Amino acid sequence: MSTRTTLRTTGVAVRAMLVLTLLLGVGYTLLVTGIGQVLLPWQTNGSMLAGERGSTLIGQSFTDAEGDALPQYFQSRPSAAGDGYDGASSGGSNLGPENPDLVAVIEERRAAVAEREGVDPSQVPADAVTASASGLDPHISVAYALLQVPRVAEARGLPEQEVRDLVESRIQGRDLGFLGEERINAAELNLALDDREGR
């Protein structure tokens, strides 16, 4: 192959790379971002909670510096992501249901939740003691939210029925009407309580 042919082939390859980089690397990205901003602006911008207090898609911890549950807040499910709800360390514990370490942790959590909520350990829902696969799930079951109503109402000095009504107004249905279970976003629920009290 001659030098002239090599230079010509190299020039074609460089031009093709530049055109495709502009077309697919810049143009496609701008197109998809623009479509997202027009059709789904809230989701495209991170599904942020009011006041930029986090994302509705990432769970949050409602504990004090020592890790103790704050009584005026609905507690999220446990997180196995880093030190808890760490988006950079998403993932579950990868321990199987028969693993003695996991069984011990679950029993410890069950006893702690039962004591905090003043119920028998058999009444503690599974999501109160187990982490989600991502470790970042912001949702809790309706049963776990309702279990916490008396404690939260007492801590905030609110009528229990008022807190129960707020919980029931926050229930999110199954995806597409049949996938998964009804659930409640704990961060949104706590934010609604704070906003109601003007915090």
pLDDT digits (tens, 9 = 90+) for 119-132: 999 999 999 999 88
Residue 40 pLDDT level (bands cut at 50, 70, 90): confident
Q: Token digits for 153?
A: 């109402």
Q: How does the average pLDDT of the chain come out, rounded?
A: 88
Return d(Cα 49, Cα 97) in angstroms, integer: 34
- DSSP-assigned states of every residue in 60-96: ---B-TTSPBPTTSPPPPP--STTTT-GGG-------
Beta bridge partners of 63: 69
Return d(Cα 36, Cα 19) in angstroms, integer: 24
Q: What is residue 172's DSSP assignment?
A: B
Return d(Cα 57, Cα 52) in angstroms, integer: 13
Which range is least confidently modeled, 81-85, 120-124, 143-147? 81-85
User: CB atoms < 10 A from the CB of 18, how many?
Assistant: 10
Q: What is residue 56's DSSP assignment?
A: T
Beta strands in 90-179 (DSSP E): 139-141
- Structure confidence by residue, pLDDT tens digits, 45-73: 777 776 656 777 788 889 888 888 999 99
Return d(Cα 180, Cα 17) in angstroms, integer: 45
pLDDT of residue 165: 96
